Amino acid sequence: MAYIEIQKVRKTFGKTKVIKGVSLEVQKGEFLVLVGPSGCGKSTLLRMIAGLESIDEGIIVIDGDVINTIPPKNRDIAMVFQNYALYPHMSVYNNLAFGLKVKGGKKKEYHQKIIDTAQILGLSELLERKPKQLSGGQKQRIALGRAIVRNPKAFLFDEPLSNLDAKLRVKMRADLLRLHRQQKSTSIYVTHDQVEAMTMADRVAIIHEGTIQQIDTPLNVYNTPANQFVAEFIGSPPMNTISGELQKKEGGFSFLVDNKVLFENLRFPNDLPEGKIILGIRPENISLQPESPFLFESKTSFQIDLIEHMGDFSYAHIDIDGVKNWIVKNTGMQQLTDGMTTKMYIDAGRLHFFDTDTGKTSGEM
């Protein structure tokens, strides 16, 4: 039995359906990440678990108990918000202790717990300081510590790193993961950043327009997306996609865009249908140089619209006959310049195909 169960939950604001019958399970000790674009409903779902939003339909179960009507303060859940929500007039120690004091705890009972938590989070030297004397990363660690000292049934994180700079976000991601492994806590983490989702999650649930598109491990979601939305949302840069037509010929399949052959003599499984289809391939599965396993050469040459130099590799933006802009990850020694023409070589074993009507995966090599 799952530790947290969400069963056919719905939420509507006015005439807007925000959560459309979401069901999912979280195992005890699991770190589940809810990821999706802004406005998809992920934070609303988290707030429903916490009791900060009412549930229109469905039930939420934690550790065997239905919690729909239980007040937030009695759900034994700790939530960490995007803003730190610290008490500016209190010391770090008193910020950590506040929730325990409200519950009626005595200092001699919780003092050691605060000291231990501060040591885990690297706050031991800061316990007498006020929040205004601290950096953003230190403030976020206090917010985490305030949740940890309560020893709750579950942790809920609502985009807790989004206010930090890029370097600090990377460090805090690692700190959070280490903390999770030490505590073995059940956690649900909301983010719009798919890099956070890929690096932190035991499993990731991709949400779009109030529905779950796919739940799986990060690698499975990346390698076998359930539909075009997941394929284009997960990955940085995202998967390249283009609408076209598959035609079966004597030497294999040809893929045409606007009646022009993009690739030919492609060999696919026998059950892959001819006709209109959306082809997808990730930037790292394309090369601008003829090398194994990039065996299939584009029928024509294309112009490089833009080069983004990243250090030991670069991203080339390729104009596909004015129809679509593709991104190619170039890790070779080839010197690329804006405006030059080139052919593309693809790893046909990494192609994905999506139905033009539903967007669902039609097949993959």
- Asked whether residue 80 is assigned to any structural domain, the reply reads yes
CATH number of the domain encompassing residue 40: 3.40.50.300
State whether 276 and 329 are in the same domain. Answer: yes
Cα 281 to Cα 279: distance, rounded to the nearest angstrom: 7
State whether 197 and 250 are in the same domain. Answer: no
User: How many CB atoms sit inside 10 A of residue 360's CB?
Assistant: 13
State whether 66 and 185 are in the same domain. Answer: yes
State whether 62 and 132 are in the same domain. Answer: yes
State whether 196 and 271 are in the same domain. Answer: no
- The pLDDT of residue 35 is 96
- The pLDDT of residue 203 is 97
Which phi and psi (to 5°) does residue 159 adopt? Answer: 45, 55
State whether 192 and 323 are in the same domain. Answer: no
* Closest alpha carbon to 175 in 226, 205, 138, 150: 138
- Asked whether residue 70 is assigned to any structural domain, the reply reads yes
Residues of the chain with pLDDT under 70: 1, 269-271, 292-293, 321-323, 332-334, 363-365
- The pLDDT of residue 1 is 65
- Asked whether residue 233 is assigned to any structural domain, the reply reads no
- The pLDDT of residue 17 is 95
| Most distant pair of Cα atoms in the chain: their distance | 82
- Residues ≥6 apart with Cβ < 8 Å to 326: 240, 242, 283, 286, 317, 318, 320, 344
- Asked whether residue 357 is assigned to any structural domain, the reply reads yes
Residue pair 317/237 in contact by the 8 Å Cβ criterion:
no
Number of domains the chain is built from? 2
Residue pair 361/273 in contact by the 8 Å Cβ criterion:
no
- Asked whether residue 120 is assigned to any structural domain, the reply reads yes
- The pLDDT of residue 338 is 86
State whether 71 and 208 are in the same domain. Answer: yes
Question: For 96-139, how does the pLDDT look when each residue is reduced to its tens digit (9 = 90+)?
Answer: 988 888 777 777 778 888 898 888 888 899 999 998 999 888 88
* Closest alpha carbon to 159 in 145, 171, 173, 177: 173
Q: What is the pTM of this model?
A: 0.88
- The pLDDT of residue 271 is 65
- The pLDDT of residue 365 is 44
Domain closes at, from 225, 252, 287? 225
- The pLDDT of residue 217 is 97
Q: How would you class 194 by CB atoms within 10 Å of its CB: exposed for 0-12, middle for 13-18, buried for 19 or more?
A: buried
